[in-house]
Structure 1
Amino acid sequence: MNTADKPNPAQPHSLSANDMNDKLSGDPISNVLLARWIMRTHFEQFAGSSVADIARAYIGVYSNRPTSWQAVLARNHNMDKSEALRAEDDPELVRIPGMRRSKFLIPKSMANMVFGATCLPLLDHEWRLREAELTLEDYLRIRPELIRFASGSPVRLEEIKSFLGLSGSQARACTTVATYNGVLVRAPSPNPWSNRWLYAAAPSELMHSHDALVDHEQLQWELACHYIEQYGPVSVEDLAWWMGISKKLARLFLEKAGAGEIESGLWLGPLQKKTFESWATNVSESSDERVRFLPNWDPLLMGYSPGSRHRSCLGLDQIGAYDHAGNGLPVVLIGSKAVTTWRVTAKGSQRLLSIHLPDDILQKDQQIIQEAAVMWAERIGAIYIP
C-alpha cells in the first residue's frame, strides 16, 4: 500500500448509531454521514476506473493540465502518470467548452449533449473579437480557412497566426471563439504541465448543437439528469450553479428527473436514492482515513455551489479551498475532512510540491500528510519540499 493510501489510525469521523439511523428515522442527515457518502461516490467507486470512465461519470473532467490527469490519479491509486496521460489521448475523448464556459475532457458520446446544453449564440462571443479589433464578419470570413488549416494534425496558435496573417491577439480571439462555436477542439501539448493548447478541427459528427433543430432545453434536462445521479444528493442551488441556469429551471429539472428529497433541500435521483438507503443502513462504523491530494478544479471541488452543505461538511470553506474567483485550489483530505492546501511550483525543469501546514493541524496528522506527500510527489513527477 502506498503511503498516500495509508489509513490514518485517528478516526475522528467514525459513524455513531445515531448517524446511521438519521436516514431511517426521518431526521436530517448528519454531516458525518453525508461526508462518508461523498467519499463513496467521488472516490471509492472509482478505485479501478479508467480515464474515460471517470470523465463519463463526471460529465467531463476539467481539461486544464495538470488537473485532468491528477484528478484521475487521485481516484485510481493503481494508475500511474504515464498511463493516465496515454489514456487522455484516446480518440474517443475530446476537450470542449461546457458548464460555466469551462473546458472539459469528455467522451465523444456525451459531447453533443454537453455542448448543446451549455453553448451560447455566436453573437454572445462577439466581444472577444472586438477586443482584438475584429468583427463578427471578419471571423465568419476567416473561419473556413481556420477549419481547413486545422483539419490535419493539431496546430499551434503561432502556426495559426502565421497562416492567417493575424496578430497574436487576433489569432487567440479567433481560436477561442471557434472553440465556443464548436468548430475547433483543443489538443494537449506534449508537456503534461502545460496549458499551451494546440487546436484541431472538430470531428464532423460532433457539436452540431447550434443547429436550430436541436432542442436546447431537452439537452439541458439530459445533462441535469446525469449530474443529479453522479453528484447527488444536491440542492436546487447546486444544480443551478453547476449548470449556470436559474434556480426555477433547476427545480423543474429535479422534479422532472424524478429526484426526491431525502431531507429538506437535498435531492437524490431515483436510482441513487435506492443505493443510498441501502448503503446508509449497512455502512461500516469505521472510517477510511487515507490521505488524498486533489488538484485545483477537481470535480469534487467544483461540483457544488458556494455555501453548499457539501463544502461545509468536508471542511473546504474552513481551510480556504477556493480563491477569490471561486476556483477550487489543490486540497489535502484525510478521510472525509479537508485539512489543508498544497501547490506545485516550477524550478527550471523540476516541479516542487509544498504543503501549507498550519499550527492547528495535529503533529501526528502533519507526519501522516508529509509521508503521503512524498508518495504523491513521486506519482506526479515532482519533489516534495518539507
Structure 2
Amino acid sequence: MHGISDAQRRSRLVRRHLLAPSVRAASAESVTDSVVALHATDAATVFLSVCARLSEASVGAVERALYEDVSLVRLLSMRNTLFTVSSGLAPYVDAANARAVAAKERRTFLKHLRDDGNGLDAHWLAETEKETLATLTARGSATGSELSAAVPALRTKITVFPGKKQETVQGVATRVIRVLAADGLIRRDRPRGSWTSSQFRWTAAEPWPAREPAAARAELALRWLRSYGPATEADLKWWTGWGLGQVRQALEVAGAEEVRLDSGATGWVSPGDTEPEPTLEPWAALLPALDPSAMGWADRGFHLPVEYRAALFDRAGNIGPTVWWNGRIVGGWAQRADGELVWRLLTDVGREATTAIEAEASRLSGWVGETRITPRFRTPLERELTV
C-alpha cells in the first residue's frame, strides 16, 4: 500500500486550499471549489475564508458571487449545517445531503404543530408556505420580520415540547422560512447590515435540478478527496454526516484508492492521486473560526497538536480563529473592540514565521478596515485575546 506522510498531507493542504501566496486564486468561486464548501453558520466566515485565499482580498467580489451572480449559494446540508458552495456543485450537495435535511426539518416542524394541539397541520403549513412565497415573489426580497408583518399566519405562536422541562412558546415564522429555504424555494439575499450580519433578506428561488442521491454522494466524496485526501472513512463520515454504509459506497463508486497514513490508519485518495506534492514557499495564514482547512477532518492530528485543542475549540467542537505556519496551526487570533488585531502563538516558531504572521495580520487588517468581527462561537483563546 502506498504511504503518504503527515508532511505530505500538509504540502497537499497548502496547495489545494490555496493558502500560500503563490497559489492564491483570482475569484471567490475558485476559492470555494478548492475547499468544496465554506462553513456559513457565521456570515463573516465565508468572507474571511475566501479573502484569505484571494490574490487581492475583496468583500465586493464575494458579495457579487453571493447576491448578484448567485454563483455561490448557501445550503443547509452536511451535518445539518449551513454551508456555502458553488452553484455548479449545489445540485450534488442538494441530492447528497440537503434533501434528507429538508425532509427531517419538515417532519420535525409538523410534529411541533401537531403537539401544539390547535389544529395546525400539513394543510395549514402548505397554505402558509404558499402565501409566504407569493408575498416574497411580489416584493422581490424581504426580511423575516417584513414577511411576518405581511403574512398573518406567520405571526402564529405554538407551544414546543408541551408538558416537558424544555417547554417554550415560539413563533412559527423562523421555522416556516427555514423549511422553505431547506426545500430550495427561497434563498438568503443581502443582509440588512454589513457583510458580517446574519440578518438576511430572503428572495424566491428555483429548486436545484434533481440528481440521483448515491451518484451525488460519490461526486461529493470525489471532490472532497481531491481537496482533503488522504483522509479516513471516519473523516468523510464526520464531514458529510452520512452513515458508514453510505461513506463506503461513495468511496467505492468514486474509485477511491487506499493509502497508508503515518498514524498507521488507512486513508483514501482520489483515483491516481498518490504522487508527492511539491513543496511551496514558506507561508503564514490567519484563518477565521470554522475555516474549512481546520474543520475538514475528524482527526486533525497531522496539522493540529492535541494540546492546543482546549484553547482553540469551544465545547461543541467549533474551532476559533487560527494562526498557521507552513501547514500547522500554531496559535490563534482575535480582533479587539477598537479594531486592533491581536494573536498569540502556542509554540516558538522563530523569527521568519513571526515576520510572516505579522505581514498576514497587516494584510487582514487592511481589507477588513473599520469592520468589527466577533465569532459566533467564542473559544477560550479568542476570548482571552479580546480582554
Superposition map of 1:184-333 within 5 A: 184-189=186-191, 190-203=193-206, 206-207=207-208, 209=210, 215-263=212-260, 264-271=265-272, 273=273, 276-277=274-275, 279-280=276-277, 283-284=278-279, 288-305=281-298, 308=299, 311-315=300-304, 317-320=306-309, 321-333=312-324
Specify which of 134, 155, 169 is matched with residue 142 of structure 2: 155
Contact 1:51 1:88 survives alignment (8 Å): no
Contact 2:45 2:289 survives alignment (8 Å): yes
Change (3 A) 1:91 1:225: same
Q: Which residue of 2 aligns with 1:3?
A: none
Cα distance, 1:163 vs. partner?
A: 1.1
Specify which of 62, 68, 85 is matched with residue 63 of structure 2: 85
Between the two proteins, the alignment pairs up a number of residues equal to 339
Change (3 A) 1:270 1:29: closer
Change (3 A) 1:293 1:382: farther
Change (3 A) 1:363 1:299: closer
Q: Which residue of 2 aligns with 1:62?
A: 39
Change (3 A) 1:246 1:181: same
Question: For 2:26 and 2:271, how far apart are their aligned partners in 1?
Answer: 24
Match of 2:36, as an amino acid?
I
Structure 2 residue 332 is the aligned partner of structure 1 residue 341 = yes
Change (3 A) 1:58 1:255: same
Q: Which ranges in structure 1 are unaligned for 5 or more consecutive residues?
A: 1-25
Contact 2:258 2:268 survives alignment (8 Å): yes
Question: For 1:367 and 1:123, how far apart are their aligned partners in 2?
Answer: 49
Cα distance, 1:260 vs. partner?
A: 0.9
Q: Which residue of 2 aligns with 1:122?
A: 103
Contact 1:129 1:173 survives alignment (8 Å): no
Indicate the SS of the match to 1:288: coil
Cα distance, 1:191 vs. partner?
A: 0.9
Contact 1:96 1:186 survives alignment (8 Å): no
Once the two structures are overlaid, the 10-residue window that deviates more, 334-343 or 246-255, is 246-255
Indicate the SS of the match to 1:66: helix
Q: Summarize deviations over 1:59-98 as a string: whole Å, max 9, x none.
A: 3322342111111111123233333333433233322222
Contact 2:214 2:250 survives alignment (8 Å): no
TM-score normalised to structure 2 length = 0.78
Q: Which residue of 1 aligns with 2:381?
A: none
Q: Which ranges in structure 2 are unaligned for 5 or more consecutive residues?
A: 156-169, 373-384
- Identity across the alignment (%): 22
Cα distance, 1:368 vs. partner?
A: 4.9
Question: For 1:123 and 1:33, how far apart are their aligned partners in 2?
Answer: 40
Match of 2:360, as an amino acid?
A
Question: For 1:318 and 1:246, how far apart are their aligned partners in 2?
Answer: 30
Structure 2 residue 90 is the aligned partner of structure 1 residue 111 = yes
Structure 2 residue 143 is the aligned partner of structure 1 residue 142 = no
Match of 2:9, as an amino acid?
L
Once the two structures are overlaid, the 10-residue window that deviates more, 104-113 or 289-298, is 104-113
Specify which of 77, 81, 97 is matched with residue 98 of structure 1: 77
Change (3 A) 1:316 1:229: same
Contact 1:129 1:174 survives alignment (8 Å): no
Structure 2 residue 8 is the aligned partner of structure 1 residue 33 = yes
Indicate the SS of the match to 2:172: helix
Give the RMSD, CA atoms, in angstroms. 2.9
Q: Summarize deviations over 1:116-136 as a string: whole Å, max 9, x none.
A: 111225354333466585644
Indicate the SS of the match to 2:84: strand
Indicate the SS of the match to 1:94: strand
TM-score normalised to structure 1 length = 0.78
Structure 2 residue 342 is the aligned partner of structure 1 residue 354 = yes
Cα distance, 1:160 vs. partner?
A: 1.0
Specify which of 358, 366, 379 is matched with residue 378 of structure 1: 366
Structure 2 residue 24 is the aligned partner of structure 1 residue 47 = yes
